[in-house]
Structure 1
Amino acid sequence: DWSDYSHLWSENPDLHFELLNNKRNKHDGVFWMPFISFVKYFECVDICKLRHNWYEVRDSSNFYPVPKMMQAYYLTISYATELDITLHRKISKNLRIQRSDVSLCIAVINMEEQSNGNYRIYSMPIVSRRDQHKLISTNGFLQPGTYVILPFLFNQVNKYLDNTEFTIAIHSSHILDIQRIKLPLRIEREFLIKLCIFHGEPVRISKKSDNDDNQSDGVTIYELKKYWDGLVLLVENRHPSKYVHFHFRCTLSQNTLISRKDSRSELFDIIPPNYRQIIVTISRKSPSNSFTIGHDFEYMLSSQNFIKQGEGIKQKHWPKIDESQLSDDIHLPQCILSAKHN
């Protein structure tokens, strides 16, 4: 409507004078549109940041190079370095509908591999927000050392994706080196657990009586909202011998996706002694609309390791989760003692 020859300019002479008065070439490719049209047809704006004497490293790969594995990178830095990191998911216009169901995140972590084959993340110097656009970026400052870059593609509804290719670009104030590595998908569970512990908020539960001590039962509940457009709920059971019987209720949910398969409004879980569990992640579904999450929960300690009542009676988790030894289910309870210094 607002092309160079549009009648709208003559109907709005003040705008014509302000925006087109100094325009010399009507074929320069510059055009105007109302802001309401801009936000309707464009999801994001990319701004190229040019820095003098900075370095760039790029790589294109697949989020899942082989089954049950995710692409990651060793990052080696020799000098204190400032970085800008961008992750771009390759997606065609006809895949636009999938953008609301998957999301991206980048994290730079310190981790170690344990003797049992699991991984322990002990710091996250750089982490981006989880975002549903086709690209995300973050920045930070790193001291010399070796780190791991984790490019995540969160697909909570396990929707089939035609394309899982991506490009990562790292701009840095000093030369650095990256090397491709493959990590088991279960690293996502460790990442979410540590994200809750490092950046989540412990939930304070009202005491039942004056003699109760909130910390005496060894149970800590974390709610993560920072870095996550929604909610991640983690339960930690440090009681030496008793199981946590945890009951979660989603009382209100609008424009959200819930991570538990076949989930309804209620979840039941048994968390063993000295274990942690991601109970659920709830995420905004459509990035262009607001969302609402209403929830409550309750728990009790018991010597029994199964659900005592309800639809999931005699089970350990309801709805069920994959409890196999090498499961990459993010809801599988994870042992605390296997990760020292946690």
Structure 2
Amino acid sequence: MPKLRALLQDVRYLEAKTLHPGLCTLTGAPCESVSLQAGGGGCGAGAGPMPLEQLDRDLVWAQLLSSRQACFLMGASCGGGNMKVDEEEYQRLGLRPRHAYSVLDVVELEGPIRLLRLRNPWGHYTWRGAFAHGCPRWTEAARRAVAVHTGLADADRDHGVFWISFDDVLKYFDCIDICKVRVGWHEVRLAGILPPVSSTRHLTCLLLTASQPTEVDFTLFQEGQRNSAKSQRSQLDLCVVVFRTKSGPSAQIGKLVAHSKRQVRGFVGCHKMLEKGFYLVVCLAFNHWHTGLELADSSAWPRHVLAAHSSKPLVVERPSLHPHILADAIIGLTLARGQRHEGRQGMTAYYLTKGWAGLVVMVENRHTDKWIHVKCDCQESYNVVSTRGELKTIDSVPPLHRQVIIVLTQLEGSGGFSIAHRLTHRLASGARLQDWAPAGDAEPRHKPPLARRLYGLHAPRLIT
């Protein structure tokens, strides 16, 4: 551990604005990006014109303090992501935008005064603002308090090392990466495929058995192309979801337990304290659907590694899957986390939008003898890909059924994207779309037709 810590304090070999790729590679431990900007979804996450979430400064600070107390490795990304950067201001203050700094300490003094101790891996070019070397805010009392907390005789004796206030970190840095290296934990890693179609043969689902309560970190990594010019373009949206399930011959989707954010990036993860029982972990990715990849041999499909780090041993196996497990997983996710819209009596539309790298639309028909015809028009969206292959869909949802209407996903992680959707619906006494479908259409219930490779995601599912 001391050698690893020394290596990460001198990260000049990492030509990146964030540390998590190197932290993951060096340690294999689960990593987390803590956003420092309102509405942020982690370092480098693309953002559409969605409402911004308020940043809970106290919660972020508490997370940094607890991570420091746990001796987790941390790095800070300066002026990256979607931040608007004034290059002259950063230079005047001794900061380098789009640059990674190691986090050496996190301290709260009386006042309260919240400080972080950072290191520029270059070994020079350091912060010149508040609490920099020689700053009058360094009173004798403050220096003594830091010495008590850190054991350092001088507040910034190391070359390239400086103290900076938490307020300034929030102003000039976009996120802090935390690498949760723990001693004595158990690790399971399984490789798999992220299929560009609904295929239970290739979809990665894991059945976990927890024989006792255990703390677990799940991390889903996609196969990287670090030195490729297409690395950003080739990145997929990732999401890992955990459900309750039962032991049996075929895995079933139960209550949602935990999930990561859905992001176009190299890895995503989530943390949960699991009670004794059975759990189903599902790996999701969608922005490579209808890109031509589905026509290629499965050996060319993107690959991933799913890692589970747990405080207690877990029994892990690959269960048998029923053909509609993907639809049930998305329906379970939208029911638990989606925004509800009561479109009409007996009908509810659910939307996953903010923080989901796109859009998921699911419709529930609770009528016992009426169909609901649904038009979903997303044609004004840009830089997104649709699991239906088109941005406008028309579907007939049967009585007492739910259907995943469309999944839109950010196509490129490096660029912005926009989601625009309009839902039109009507009650009908039959399944045929009638005047909403072209005359002589061979598929009277769905437009575009549901190809076999989409059926496991978009086929209507009976409400149970």
Match of 1:234 in 2: 362
Report the Cα distance in structure 2 between the residues aligned to 1:202 and 1:114, rounded to whole angstroms.
Answer: 32
Match of 1:247 in 2: 375
Report the Cα distance in structure 2 between the residues aligned to 1:45 and 1:183, rounded to whole angstroms.
Answer: 38
1:186-197 matched pairs, under 5 angstroms: 186-197=324-335
Report the Cα distance in structure 1 between the residues aligned to 2:445 and 2:187, rounded to whole angstroms.
Answer: 49
Of 146-155 and 127-136, deviating more is 146-155
Report the Cα distance in structure 1 between the residues aligned to 2:454 and 2:273, rounded to whole angstroms.
Answer: 34
- What is the TM-score of this pair, normalised by structure 1? 0.73
1:46 CA displacement: 6.3
Match of 2:211 in 1: 78
AA aligned opposite 2:433:
I
AA aligned opposite 1:127:
H
Of 244-253 and 294-303, deviating more is 244-253
Q: Is the 1:70–1:183 contact (alpha carbons within 8 Å) kept by the matching residues of 2? A: no
Distance 1:63 1:252, change over 3 A: closer
Q: 1:332 aligned to 2:451?
A: no
1:21 CA displacement: 9.2
Q: 2:184 aligns with which of 53, 61, 70?
A: 53
Distance 1:59 1:260, change over 3 A: closer
Distance 1:298 1:174, change over 3 A: same
Q: 1:105 aligned to 2:239?
A: yes
Which structure shows the bigger proportion of residues in helix conformation? 2
Report the Cα distance in structure 2 between the residues aligned to 1:108 and 1:13, rounded to whole angstroms.
Answer: 44
Report the Cα distance in structure 1 between the residues aligned to 2:436 and 2:309, rounded to whole angstroms.
Answer: 54
RMSD of equivalent CA atoms: 3.4
Q: Is the 1:80–1:142 contact (alpha carbons within 8 Å) kept by the matching residues of 2? A: yes
Q: Is the 1:82–1:172 contact (alpha carbons within 8 Å) kept by the matching residues of 2? A: yes
* SS state at 1:246 partner: strand
* SS state at 1:190 partner: helix
Distance 1:198 1:332, change over 3 A: same
Q: Is the 2:233–2:412 contact (alpha carbons within 8 Å) kept by the matching residues of 1? A: no
AA aligned opposite 2:285:
L
AA aligned opposite 1:222:
Y
- 5+ residue gaps in structure 1? 4-10, 25-37, 206-213
Deviations 1:193-232 (A, max 9, x none): 1111111111144xxxxxxxx43xx111111225622211
- What is the TM-score of this pair, normalised by structure 2? 0.56
* SS state at 1:149 partner: strand
Report the Cα distance in structure 2 between the residues aligned to 1:239 and 1:274, rounded to whole angstroms.
Answer: 6
Match of 1:172 in 2: 310
Distance 1:124 1:250, change over 3 A: same
1:22 CA displacement: 4.7
Match of 2:276 in 1: 144
AA aligned opposite 2:373:
H
- 5+ residue gaps in structure 2? 1-11, 13-90, 96-123, 128-155, 161-172
Deviations 1:225-282 (A, max 9, x none): 2562221111111111111111222252122222212x25x32111111111111112
Distance 1:125 1:14, change over 3 A: closer
Q: Is the 1:91–1:163 contact (alpha carbons within 8 Å) kept by the matching residues of 2? A: no
Q: 1:87 aligns with which of 210, 220, 232?
A: 220
Q: 1:320 aligns with which of 442, 449, 454?
A: 449
Q: 1:129 aligned to 2:261?
A: yes
AA aligned opposite 2:187:
E
Which structure shows the bigger proportion of residues in strand conformation? 1
Q: Is the 2:264–2:357 contact (alpha carbons within 8 Å) kept by the matching residues of 1? A: no
1:38-49 matched pairs, under 5 angstroms: 47-49=178-180
* SS state at 1:291 partner: coil
1:328 CA displacement: 3.7
Report the Cα distance in structure 2 between the residues aligned to 1:224 and 1:13, rounded to whole angstroms.
Answer: 40
